[in-house]
């Protein structure tokens, strides 16, 4: 499929991006197609005005480099603006109810991006507010990252359906969103994690159901090499996510020496496999320097694509058409 020429099956129906499980395959393709077009227009130096006069509030309860910069720059490039709101500064961090925060922000801005811990907080913002809510990472999901990842895979491979992605490491927010996003687009996805750190059964069940509907396969296993066999895309993420700093030692013990993308994984994957990592990365832990800084790695193209994918998300949810 040529995504630049993708024709939508129906108008974009989504109001929020809480998890990719809420989006249809058609909506994901619309988003990726628009991202490619916005990226090309940006590179040609065309002026973009899709968000003229609109403001995105960005609430952060956790650290960020890529998400913060890409949303703020993206909103600016589209003619709008973005507000950085750390929960250590705003009243939400002192106990003001989410419902009140949602109602107040809905009177002043046009969309909310939030990075926080509980998925239910995001759902409450969407429930009580009257503007689009975008998930900038929760403990459960990281859908914006996966849209950027899929865009990168498409650019490098010229296709999505029929490929295989292997994720080695913690069954975390990234694993969950990759399971969902890949299974919806007909990409085989295999996750290798140690016992006790496997992705949540509820989300694996969603992915298995998606895979049945979209003709792909979902595997959850313990052996990294089994997951990486014949993979087109190798993916990993940190062993201890934000909020799990106190578990770092136990996690190093559970993952150390085994749950790593290294040269052995590359040698069992397809010869032209690419390596992705959402970043930030810990070289020598979940990935070797030889892989992350080697010829198969496309991590900086992937990071750049956060900007283009999220510009598409903002246009679709907050732009004039929305
Ligand atoms: N990948 C990602 O979300 O990066 P940041 O934590 O820097 O936003
Ligand atoms: N799993 C990581 C992803 C960071 C982008 C975390 O939640 O910290």
pLDDT band of 322, cuts 50, 70, 90? low
Using one digit for the tens of pLDDT, what is the confidence trace for 86-109? 999 999 999 999 999 999 999 999
In the prediction, which pLDDT does 320 show?
Answer: 79
pLDDT value of position 98: 97
- The answer to whether the CB of 242 is under 6 A from ligand 2 is yes
Q: Could you tell me the pTM of the whole model?
A: 0.98
CA dist 58 → 73, 145, 311 (Å): 12, 16, 14
Q: Is the CB of 172 under 6 A from ligand 2?
A: yes
Please give the share of the chain, as a percent, with pLDDT higher than 90: 99
What is the pLDDT averaged over residues 70-89? 98
Please pick, among 50, 145, 260, 310, the residue that the annotation labels catalytic.
Answer: 145
Mean pLDDT of 125-129: 98
Pocket test for ligand 2, best of 246, 278, 279 (most atoms within 8 A of CB): 278
pLDDT digits (tens, 9 = 90+) for 262-298: 999 999 999 999 999 999 999 999 999 999 999 999 9
Using CB atoms within 10 Å of the CB of residue 287, give its burial: 0 to 12 exposed, 13 to 18 middle, 19+ buried.
buried
Reply yes or no on whether the pLDDT at 71 is more than 90. Answer: yes
Q: Read out DSSP for 297-308?
A: B-HHHHHHHHHH
Return the number of other C-beta atoms located less than 10 Å from residue 227's C-beta: 26
Nearest ligand 2 atom to alpha carbon 237? 1
For 33-74, strand residue ranges (E) read 55-60
Write the DSSP symbol of residue 237.
-
Q: What is the pLDDT of residue 252?
A: 98
State the span(s) of the chain assigned CATH 3.40.50.1370. Answer: 12-141+306-318, 145-302
Is CATH 3.40.50.1370 the right assignment for the domain spanning 145-302? yes
CATH code for residues 12-141+306-318: 3.40.50.1370
Residue 321 pLDDT exceeds 80 = no
User: Which H/E stretch holds residue 253?
Assistant: helix 248-255
Reply yes or no on whether the pLDDT at 55 is more than 80.
yes
Cα of 167 vs centre of ligand 2, distance in Å, is 14
Mutation to probe ligand 1, out of 64, 82, 236 (largest number of atoms < 8 A from CB) = 64
Q: Is the Cβ atom of 35 under 6 angstroms away from ligand 2? A: no
How far away, in angstroms, is 321 Cα from ligand 2 center?
A: 32
Q: Quote the mean pLDDT of the chain.
A: 97
**Mean pLDDT in residue range 22-32:** 98
């Amino acid at each position: 499929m040529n995504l630049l020429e993708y024709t939508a099956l129906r108008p974009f129906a989504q109001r929020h991006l809480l998890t990719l499980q809420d989006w249809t395959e058609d909506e994901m393709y619309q988003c990726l197609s628009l991202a490619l077009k916005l990226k090309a227009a940006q590179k040609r130096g065309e002026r973009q005005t899709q968000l003229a006069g609109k403001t995105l509030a960005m609430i952060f309860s956790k650290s960020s480099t890529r998400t913060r910069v890409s949303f703020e720059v993206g909103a600016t490039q589209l003619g709008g603006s973005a507000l950085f709101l750390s929960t250590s500064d705003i009243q939400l961090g002192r106990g003001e109810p989410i419902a009140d925060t949602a109602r107040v922000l809905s009177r002043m801005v046009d969309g909310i991006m939030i990075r926080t811990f509980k998925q239910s907080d995001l759902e409450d913002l969407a429930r009580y507010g009257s503007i689009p809510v975008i998930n900038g990472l929760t403990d459960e999901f990281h859908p914006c990252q996966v849209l950027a990842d899929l865009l990168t895979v498409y650019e490098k491979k010229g296709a999505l359906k029929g490929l295989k992605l292997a994720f080695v490491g913690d069954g975390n927010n990234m694993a969950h969103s990759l399971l969902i996003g890949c299974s919806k687009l007909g990409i085989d996805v295999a996750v290798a994690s140690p016992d006790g750190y496997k992705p949540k059964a509820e989300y694996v069940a969603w992915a298995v159901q998606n895979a049945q509907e979209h003709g792909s396969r979902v595997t959850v296993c313990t052996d990294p090499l089994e997951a990486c066999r014949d993979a087109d895309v190798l993916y990993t993420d940190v062993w201890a996510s934000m909020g799990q700093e106190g578990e770092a030692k136990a996690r190093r013990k559970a993952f150390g020496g085994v749950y790593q993308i290294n040269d052995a994984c590359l040698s069992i994957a397809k010869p032209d496999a690419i390596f992705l990592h959402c970043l930030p990365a810990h070289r020598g832990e979940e990935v070797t320097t030889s892989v992350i800084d080697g010829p198969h790695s496309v991590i900086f193209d992937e990071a750049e694509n956060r900007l283009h994918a999220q510009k598409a998300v903002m246009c679709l949810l907050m732009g004039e058409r929305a």
